[in-house]
Structure 1
Amino acid sequence: MNLRTNHHVLKVLTLLYLVVFTFSAINPLSRAVWVAEIIPVVAVLGLIWWVSREFVFSKTAYVLMFVWIVLHTIGSKYTFSEVPFDWFNQLIGSEERNHFDRVAHYSIGFFAYPIAEYLTRNQLMKPKLACIFSLFAIMSLAAGYEIIEWWYAALAGGEEGIAFLGSQGDVWDAQKDMLMDTLGATSAIILMGLQGRLSAPTPK
């Protein structure tokens, strides 16, 4: 494995993200929503760098983690229900609802990959058990985030609370978001299997 190359990938991805961050910070649709949405992104980015001081993830893991970071930052600029995403909505025949938030939730599941990778390479769990643990970790995180989302929306109230919640009138929005998180995690675990990582956990 080439730890130096993998760490270089982290630096490049971070620099590219700073461009997206700057773009999102310029005239967001709602400054209050932008601040609320960007805080967890910055926290996760900081956590990735902090962990990477002692543990360098694979290039695949870094790329997967930054997918959510970028998507969530874009969502913070427009609010998730207002992101220009018509091409995708038309593609799936659902023009009445903006599905950008569903795609972003799907990408949250990608974090199952680095979680399983960390547990496996540190020999804390066997690969298959690490995958199961990472799947349930993402499901728990998804449920916790929906509770926080509800709490903030109730606290903020008005248009700001509705924009942050992003349910777009769907009473099952929270459940569908959690499903997308779970499907994303499942996809990440399948990717690990296709890469042969469930038996030979070496960075790629």
Structure 2
Amino acid sequence: MHQNYTTTLKALALLYSAVFIFSAIDPFSRAVWVAEVIPAIAILSGVFLISRHYRFSKTSYCLMFIWLCLHTIGAKYTFAEVPFDWFNNLFDSNRNHFDRVAHFSIGLFAYPIAEYLVNRNLAKPFIALPYALFAIMALAAGYEIVEWWYAAIAGGEEGIAFLGSQGDIWDAQKDMLMDTLGALTALFIFVTQRRVFSFSQAK
């Protein structure tokens, strides 16, 4: 079992390394790239640090790495410029919705949060689930504040590129909504799996 989780984590880390190298090559703005990559590296480091003492399920690792990959790709182009026309065309929209999808993927971290609390017997599911949801919502609000702060300091094209609002005055609120919807989706998956596995470690 331990070997299986180690193999999964190493495989995902290798995949992310390839995405990171791709992202680092000739980004749209090096300053924006550095600012965007810092939180991704911080979270990746946190995942590995926690994994030294606690093994998440394979589902958790996969869900966490979805955001890491999407965010790092967004860092290369800036989120407003990622080639994502096929998805935008589904909604007949001129706006690039890659950032919305990336924000949705942040919410997927609610799964490992709830899993950790339940498996470590730190909270019963009826406490762990809302805690995970509110943790993601708080993180989403905090990140929007950081975006505003950085954009205000950087100013100019760099600040606009980092903010990625694309002219939408409600961009921050919609981003937080996507974070929340992602968290609700992750917790639905968690509840569905754990009902099947009787709250044992998800496979």
Tell me the TM-score normalized by structure 2.
0.97
Aligned partner of 1:47 in structure 2 is 46
Alignment partner for residue 145 of structure 2, among 125, 144, 147?
147
Q: Verify the 8 A CA contact 1:28 1:34 in the aligned structure 2.
A: yes
Native 8 Å contact 1:127 1:199 kept in 2: no
Q: What runs of 5+ residues in structure 2 fail to find an aligned partner?
A: none
Question: Which residue identity lines up with residue 188 of structure 1 in the other structure?
Answer: A
Q: 1:18: which partner in 2?
A: 17
Q: Distance in 2 between matches of 1:66 and 1:133?
A: 21
Judge conservation of contact 2:194–2:202 (CA < 8 Å) in 1: no
Which letter maps to 2:184?
T
> Which residue number corresponds to residue 76 of structure 2?
77
Distance 2:177 2:69 in 1: 21
| One-letter identity of the residue aligned with 1:109 | G
* Displacement after TM superposition at 1:200 (Å): 1.3
Separation in structure 2 between the aligned mates of residue 106 and residue 201 of structure 1, nearest angstrom:
26
Cα distance in 2 between the residues matched to 1:176 and 1:65? 21
User: Deviation digits for residues 11-68 of structure 1, max 9, x if unmatched?
Assistant: 1100111000000000000000000000000000000000000000000000000000
CA deviations 1:129-158 (Å, max 9, x no partner) are 101100000000000000000000000000
Amino acid aligned to 1:64: L
Say if 2:101 is the partner of 1:103. yes
Q: Where in structure 2 are the equivalents of 1:1-204 lying within 5 Å? A: 2-94=1-93, 96-196=94-194, 199-204=198-203
* Partner amino acid, structure 1, of 2:113: I
| Farther-moved stretch of structure 1 (97-106 vs 187-196) | 187-196
- CA distance in 1 between counterparts of 2:153 and 2:198 reads 47
Question: Cα deviation per residue 1:69-115 (whole Å; 9 max; x = unaligned)?
Answer: 00000000000000000000001221x20000000000000000000
Counterpart amino acid of residue 44 in structure 2: L
User: What is the CA–CA distance in structure 2 between the aligned matches of 1:49 and 1:58, rounded to whole Å?
Assistant: 13
Residues 151 and 160, structure 2, Cα contact 8 Å, conserved in 1: yes
- Provide structure 1 residue ranges, at least 5 long, that are not aligned to the other structure: none
- The answer on whether the counterparts of 2:106 and 2:179 sit within 8 Å (CA) in structure 1 is yes
Instruction: Report how far residue 193 of structure 1 moved.
Output: 1.5
In structure 2, give the amino acid aligned to 1:13: L
